Structure 1
Amino acid sequence: MSPFINIFIGIFVVVNVEYGDSLYVFKTKYFDTKLDHFNFVSNATFKLRYLINDTYWSPKSDSPIFFYTGNEGDITLFAQNTGFIWEIAPDFKALIVFAEHRYYGESLPFGNKSRDPEHLGYLSSSQALMDYVELIAELKQTNHDRKHPVIVFGGSYGGMLAAWMRMKYPATVAGAIAASAPIWQFTDMTPCDVYNRVLTSAFSMASRRCSSNIRRSWAAINNVTKTDGGKTWLNNTWKLCKPVTTAENVTALKDYLSDLYSNLAMVNYPYPSTFLADLPAYPVKAFCEHLRYEDLDGEKLLTALFGGVSVYFNYTGKAKCLDYSGAYQQSLDDSLWQYQACTEMVMPMCANGKYDMFEPSEWNLTEFSEKCYKTYKATPQPWLVKNLYGGKHISTASNIIFSNGLLDPWSGGGVLRNVSATAQAIIMPESAHHLDLRSKNPADPISVTTARKFYIYIIHGWISH
């Protein structure tokens, strides 16, 4: 498995809307924010992009601000794929704001050099939260006589930011909807094998033989690639864009498969979706249709596995070959998230091959740290998030909804029980990764539609106090 486990693959999946198409309308604006909010001497700034829609806004009343805490990607992707905010804003007469996370999209502190390791030191959750606090203050500046309560929304890492923002800055934020936010997926909070166990269960629900066959496929790949003839067979049968010729190629192919399984589980939605890939409804089930047989082994197993993999990389039939260099579209640059994973977002992952469908792999912080230092000259701080935001000691938190779908592998590191009277956990058994923040769809499961109704009810309560 890759040492960099990418939570970034959880960012929103487009349904019937290609990137660049306009589903929701907004104005693009820029805000001068400090490069370092925690430096009393330096006043250096850069321009942070945000998207705003005031169509429903009633500035002369106490109508709320719905604020999306941007995460690891271009903010327009989130604005076009967080339909829940857009659908409820008219009834609340809310101002809609989507703020971009520093270092992503167009919010580049050092321009084209922002990704250079020597310029990455200002990329952190703490700095991003302060960007949002300052932006909200700017938005409210012209309406000092009005309350304008702020409700923050976020999914995945954005959901983590939403929850932490309410915890850290309650004077700024009235409440938070934190969808699929694995705030406990950190050292000493969640066992490192939980993610892969939950992921495996999603495939086992589709077919127990499916997860069993995936578990056995790793040995089949190892065996077939021991010989030149076997490599040639795999290259031809799997139509690999880059032939497998070395041990490094084999590792890259297996890392691709691991990422692919994660992606399928997270976007296991009840309707077709596009973004990470063109996918059918319930793509895990479609994948597992190819692996539901008991007598699969060797080349027969790998041929069947390629049929399942084709659901992900070639559902439309347009792909000429399988590019195993990455399971993500080019519009998603995960190098910046890898830096965050190498500093504060250290999320231990491991597998034992018995209770999950992966090759056994231990979590080795020393090895991980060495790779991080080699890449970024940065040393991971595994306990920083716990120290900054409280870890599991958050019983004083209030006005937060932690929602999780049990089909989502990140739910294992999420909040699955109430932590206080008003910091509540919402569990959706039939939901994948933050389905509840997406636009409503006739195929949505009852648990998701019920959760959305509860959010509306609870938001009314938050803004009335």
Structure 2
Amino acid sequence: MAMTMSQDCALVSRSINTLLVLCSGARLSLGNVLTLCSHRFYGQSIPFGDIEKVMADKQVRACLTIEQSLEDYKNIILSFKSNMSAHHSPAVVFGTGYSGALATYFRIKYPDVTIGALASSAPMFLTGTSNPRDSYCPIVSKYFEDFNRTCYQIIKDSWKKLDDIASQIEGITRLSHLFKTCRFPSSISGARCNEIIFPVSCGSGTMLPPEEFNLTTFEIDCQSRYSVMPNLNFLETYFGNKVSNVIFFNGLRDPFSGEGILENLSESVVVINTTKGI
């Protein structure tokens, strides 16, 4: 009998201890417990201990999804409650940036498991959409410009020089050694191709080089690297639009805040904005 994706990923999770998120809990003075969890396929939560090996395995790679991550968190919360005999204790989920979006999705998907969510600078309009968004670069640039105009101008003028070096023989290698660059994690690019997408564009007039998000190029790259096409309607079809008991906190100097919820949506979905918050 054929297995569903959830059954398949559950079998992988049971056979590979490190696939599930790793958590640490700390008791607080008021009798609460704070639990910090690592997203599957990130940090130490990598099956086989090798992210490149994971991303090359289609069956295992298919378990890197928002649905599976949320199910991890649900199981962890329920396990904590059971192990601590705290079945009736309320749970609140929280996160910053992408994890803030996950906290919101968790509240939508499992309203019976958590009483609410706190989402800080959660880029809700960057996840699961193919529409180019261009607020990220202006916010970054404005912060640098306000802090130090000279620094802002140096960065803005540097791109032509970097392009000139990169065009030379061994230029990319030289720049990599100079700036001690690291590889973009495969788990991030794989998650983008599955569902997240993050269509960030940079327009002209900022300190960063202009770059337009191109959906066709993105789809070709995803097909070439992972043999998948982005699910452009995933969030809408999977979560719908019903949400309650969420606080969206936005530091308006955080570049993700420009794609977040900036106004109250209802009496139970409220927003707190801080002008100079990061």
TM-score over 0.5 for the pair: yes
**Rounded Cα–Cα distance in structure 2 between residues aligned with 1:428 and 1:189:** 28
Is 1:378 matched with 2:228? Answer: yes
Give how far 1:249 is off.
2.1
The alignment yields a C-alpha RMSD, in angstroms, of 3.2
Relative to structure 1, is the Cα distance of residues 211 and 169 closer, same or farther in structure 2, using a 3 angstrom cutoff?
Answer: same
Is the 8 Å Cα contact of residues 373 and 379 (structure 1) preserved in structure 2? yes
**Rounded Cα–Cα distance in structure 1 between residues aligned with 2:22 and 2:104:** 20
**Rounded Cα–Cα distance in structure 1 between residues aligned with 2:128 and 2:41:** 26
Give how far 1:109 is off.
4.1
Q: Deviations over 1:92-150 (max 9, x none)?
A: x1123223322233433455443324220110111110111122222223577841101
Aligned residues with identical type, % of pairs: 29
Amino acid at match of 1:323: F
**Rounded Cα–Cα distance in structure 1 between residues aligned with 2:142 and 2:155:** 12
The answer for the alignment partner of 2:56 in structure 1 is 116
Larger radius of gyration: 1
Which runs of no fewer than 5 residues in structure 2 stay unpaired? none
Is the 8 Å Cα contact of residues 184 and 190 (structure 1) preserved in structure 2? no
**Rounded Cα–Cα distance in structure 2 between residues aligned with 1:364 and 1:190:** 9
From 176, 185, 192, the counterpart of 1:341: 192
Is the 8 Å Cα contact of residues 128 and 196 (structure 2) preserved in structure 1? no
Is 1:215 matched with 2:156? Answer: yes
Q: Deviations over 1:154-187 (max 9, x none)?
A: 1222211111111111100011111121121146
Query: Where does 1:2-401 land on structure 2 (aligned, <5 Å)?
Result: 38-39=6-7, 43=11, 45-46=13-14, 47=17, 48-53=20-25, 56=27, 89-91=28-30, 93-112=31-50, 113-118=53-58, 119-141=60-82, 146-186=87-127, 191-208=132-149, 210-222=151-163, 225=164, 231=165, 245-246=168-169, 249=172, 322-326=178-182, 334-354=185-205, 356-390=206-240, 394=241, 396-401=242-247
Amino acid at match of 1:90: S
- Secondary structure (helix, strand or coil) at the match of 2:119 reads strand
Relative to structure 1, is the Cα distance of residues 120 and 372 closer, same or farther in structure 2, using a 3 angstrom cutoff?
Answer: same
**Rounded Cα–Cα distance in structure 2 between residues aligned with 1:186 and 1:179:** 15
Relative to structure 1, is the Cα distance of residues 184 and 248 closer, same or farther in structure 2, using a 3 angstrom cutoff?
Answer: farther
**Rounded Cα–Cα distance in structure 1 between residues aligned with 2:161 and 2:83:** 65
- Structure 1 stretches (4+) deviating beyond 6 angstroms? none
- Secondary structure (helix, strand or coil) at the match of 2:81 reads helix
**Rounded Cα–Cα distance in structure 2 between residues aligned with 1:41 and 1:413:** 31
The answer for the alignment partner of 1:446 in structure 2 is none
Relative to structure 1, is the Cα distance of residues 125 and 134 closer, same or farther in structure 2, using a 3 angstrom cutoff?
Answer: same
Query: Where does 1:412-431 land on structure 2 (aligned, <5 Å)?
Result: 412-431=258-277
**Rounded Cα–Cα distance in structure 1 between residues aligned with 2:158 and 2:46:** 42
**Rounded Cα–Cα distance in structure 2 between residues aligned with 1:172 and 1:107:** 23
Is the 8 Å Cα contact of residues 49 and 107 (structure 1) preserved in structure 2? yes
- TM-score w.r.t. structure 2 length? 0.82
Is the 8 Å Cα contact of residues 37 and 127 (structure 1) preserved in structure 2? no
Give how far 1:359 is off.
2.5
Amino acid at match of 1:105: G
- TM-score w.r.t. structure 1 length? 0.51
- Secondary structure (helix, strand or coil) at the match of 1:369 reads helix
- Secondary structure (helix, strand or coil) at the match of 1:104 reads coil
Number of residue pairs matched? 269
